[in-house]
Structure 1
């Protein structure tokens, strides 16, 4: 099972010995104040590290295997990740991607997040769960991953769509933290927050599918998502791969943190071909 689960479904499943809940809200203080019963705290920075001077690179498989094993996760353990609301949903999606790219077949996200769970007055706790360490045999799923050479070699390829998952100002280069601003040539803009409705839940699947199709993000093409460090890109990866069932979707995990620091690689400023009007 991959995709999203409802608060009603999770309320019936909490307490299952074989289920692992991961609280990815990004602050241990927030987790310690209250969390869903049996949830374990996981900050996404645990899942990545500086490599060769480049921040936020994916850990080696053996490191990720040790982390997931310490959380009591095996390849057979169903996992539900959650954050608070769409603004930080990318942390849950990056966690899902990290499990998926290491071979886990059953990872989901709580639709509506902690906000919906809290608003529905569902159970909360301060207690930490007792979880035994497990063996997690990680195996690299190359089809979910793109590195810099892979992306570079596909610029201008009509069979590949690059999707920039950041905000409009970051895309057009008027703001942003990267060494160089702008976007990869040919990339369209699809901010990850466009995939959510005003209630904080994902839009209906038909609405999501229509928006991506209008932008030219079609299932017959290979899609590569990116952002600054892989977080926003993982959210769009999740929607395309797990909600809409696109067969070929990769995350450029190092994203513009790496790309913008290599001055031989092209970046462009402005809104062309951004695609926001077609997504709205």
Structure 2
């Protein structure tokens, strides 16, 4: 997958939906700590889109793997087949506009081997702003044939994240105040993985929620040392916004691995070191 195919605009999606090979559409609306977004989906979604629940279908049960551990690959594959996903058929995912949830679905599909999945840049808001229709019709997809084959893109565990911080670049996608340990509203300990660099996901997009131009993103990440042949890793709170940062790096033409357990897993282990303040160490 290249920088030009990781995301697409609302206008590009409209053109593809009118073409001979329309993509499967997945609605991944989600609100951290908020209510179920299915009612919002049922009230209006892109025509033909199928709703996928992030907490229940794009994550396993919370526990030692973190707040949003990866789902069992076979269970994830069954969810995707029920949603109409097939090998060789393009998939476009979108959410309410923040992009985090859509990026989680994008990353999971890429990690499990789907080669043609993209995120609608700007999500539902971009679609409606471009004049796209929404529908409240019930969608009953044709069963797909997607079979997951995990490992197509990079995944880090806690030890791998620690190693990446020492020999490579490890980016922390959370807000700067959480990285510094000034506040920690969710997890048991504030701070960051020693050696990680602060790179908040929110700085990858503009006020409209759309990604900054690829050249701008590339300059941002290059300034953080993420360029050339240097191995890059990303983590966040629980592996959701981190997927969005991996996507931003993809847009910039930089490959990166995701530490899916992220800070929620790292901070739950008292044996793991914690750094605080603005410096990596």
Q: What TM-score do you get using the length of structure 1 for normalisation?
A: 0.90
Tell me, what secondary structure is at the counterpart of 2:140?
A: coil
**Is the 1:14–1:37 Cα contact (8 Å) retained in structure 2?**
no
Tell me, what secondary structure is at the counterpart of 2:77?
A: helix
Deviation digits for residues 110-133 of structure 1, max 9, x if unmatched? Answer: 112111211233211101223111
**Is the 2:110–2:153 Cα contact (8 Å) retained in structure 1?**
no
Aligned length: 268
Instruction: Name 1:70's counterpart in structure 2.
Output: 82
Instruction: Name 1:278's counterpart in structure 2.
Output: none
Deviates more, 1:103-112 or 1:13-22: 13-22
Instruction: Name 2:47's counterpart in structure 1.
Output: 37
Q: Distance in 1 between matches of 2:41 and 2:229?
A: 41
Tell me, what secondary structure is at the counterpart of 1:125?
A: coil
Q: Distance in 1 between matches of 2:216 and 2:27?
A: 28
Q: Distance in 2 between matches of 1:181 and 1:216?
A: 24
Residue 170 of structure 1 pairs with residue 174 of structure 2: no
Q: What TM-score do you get using the length of structure 2 for normalisation?
A: 0.90
Equivalent residue in structure 1 for 2:58, among 33, 47, 54: 47
**Is the 2:113–2:151 Cα contact (8 Å) retained in structure 1?**
yes
Residue 255 of structure 1 pairs with residue 255 of structure 2: no
More strand by share: 1
Q: Distance in 1 between matches of 2:62 and 2:224?
A: 34
Once the two structures are superposed, the pairs formed by residues 79-118 of structure 1 within 5 Å of their partners are 79-85=91-97, 88-118=98-128
Q: Distance in 2 between matches of 1:42 and 1:210?
A: 34
Instruction: Name 1:277's counterpart in structure 2.
Output: none
Unpaired segments of 5 or more residues in structure 1?
Answer: 275-280
Q: Distance in 2 between matches of 1:252 and 1:200?
A: 24
Residue 245 of structure 1 pairs with residue 253 of structure 2: yes
Root-mean-square deviation over aligned CA pairs: 1.8
Q: Distance in 1 between matches of 2:63 and 2:206?
A: 40
Q: Distance in 2 between matches of 1:143 and 1:204?
A: 23
Tell me, what secondary structure is at the counterpart of 1:200?
A: coil
Instruction: Name 1:199's counterpart in structure 2.
Output: 208
Q: Distance in 1 between matches of 2:138 and 2:15?
A: 19
Q: CA 1:210–1:155 in 2, change beyond 3 Å: closer, same or farther?
A: closer
Unpaired segments of 5 or more residues in structure 2?
Answer: 31-36
Q: Distance in 2 between matches of 1:200 and 1:154?
A: 29
Instruction: Name 2:191's counterpart in structure 1.
Output: 182
| Deviation (angstroms), 1:109 | 0.7
| Deviation (angstroms), 1:209 | 0.7
Q: CA 1:143–1:39 in 2, change beyond 3 Å: closer, same or farther?
A: closer
Q: Distance in 2 between matches of 1:98 and 1:184?
A: 24
Tell me, what secondary structure is at the counterpart of 2:191?
A: coil
Equivalent residue in structure 2 for 1:272, among 261, 273, 279: 279
Q: CA 1:142–1:121 in 2, change beyond 3 Å: closer, same or farther?
A: closer
Q: Distance in 1 between matches of 2:119 and 2:261?
A: 23
Instruction: Name 2:34's counterpart in structure 1.
Output: none
